[in-house]
Amino acid sequence: MSGSSIEMFHFNDFVDDIPRLEQKDLDRVYPGDDAAPFSQIIKYLKKPGGKKVLSLEFFNPEYWKRDALEVAKTGLMKMKEVVAENS
């Protein structure tokens, strides 16, 4: 696979207490807050080279109840921490 094969990656975490095939977008949580194997994910994204855009989107209705700027700041901080810890 070439470095340009994956240009954008939706970056969030998933819970481990709901079976994979039963999970929905609303079950997604902040990066690093649950069960996603980020060490493997980051390694996979870096392997082919090239620049990547990490997209952080929130479908979890619990986050919608909070201040949007605080949710965005928290999500960005957690995303940066996960990438730094696994690079």
Specify if 1 maps to a domain.
no
> Cα angle at 26 between 18 and 63, to 5 degrees?
120
For 27, the domain range is: 8-85
Total domains, the chain = 1
User: pTM, whole model, 2 decimals?
Assistant: 0.85
In the chain, % of residues over pLDDT 90: 74
Specify if 3 maps to a domain.
no
- 23, 14 Cβ separation under 8 angstroms: yes
Token duo for residue 12: 């969030």
Specify if 42 maps to a domain.
yes
Specify if 2 maps to a domain.
no
Q: DSSP per residue over 37-75, as a string? A: -HHHHHHHHHTT-S--EEE-----HHHHTS-HHHHHHHH
Whole-number pLDDT of residue 53: 92
pLDDT(4) > 80:
no
Specify if 25 maps to a domain.
yes
Q: How confident is the model at residue 51 (pLDDT cuts 50, 70, 90)?
A: confident
